[in-house]
Amino acid sequence: MLEPAVTIILTTLSRKAFSGNKSNIFFNIQVTAICPGGVRPDFLDQTSMKRPAKQIEDYDVVRQTMSGFDRLNHNQSGDLAKVAQVIIAVTQMEQALGRLYLGV
C-alpha cells in the first residue's frame, strides 16, 4: 500500500502526462504515463544511499525509519527486470498507451 502523499503525486503526474498526450498529437509526440506499483530496486542499498558516519541525536527518528527500510530492502514485491522489459517493449509500440500500470 502506497503512502497517501505518494499516491497523490503519482496520480497527478500520470494525469498530467495523459493530458499532455492529447496536446502533443499535432507534433506526433506520444506519451505513456508509467504507474509503478511495488518493485524491488536497489535504491535502499548502501551503493545508492549513503548515511552519515557522525550521528546527531536530533535525527534518531530518521535513523529508526531508515532501519525499517533496511528490513524492507530486497523484500519488496515485483521484479525490476521484468518491469524494465515491459517498458522497453512499450517504447517500441507504434501507438503509445495512455497509462501503463506495473508492479503489484
Could you report the per-residue pLDDT of 8-67, keeping only the tens digit for each? 666 666 666 555 555 556 677 788 888 877 776 777 777 777 778 888 999 899 888 888
Please tell me whether residues 15 and 66 are part of one structural domain.
Answer: no
Domain that holds residue 60: 42-75
Please tell me whether residues 7 and 22 are part of one structural domain.
Answer: yes
Please tell me whether residues 46 and 35 are part of one structural domain.
Answer: no
Please tell me whether residues 84 and 33 are part of one structural domain.
Answer: yes
Cβ neighbours of residue 69 closer than 8 Å, sequence gap 6 or more: 44
In three-state secondary structure terms, 37 is coil
Considering its fold, how many domains does the chain have in total? 2
Please tell me whether residues 35 and 84 are part of one structural domain.
Answer: yes
pLDDT in tens, 57-78: 998 998 888 887 777 777 777 7
H/E stretch holding 33 reads strand 33-36
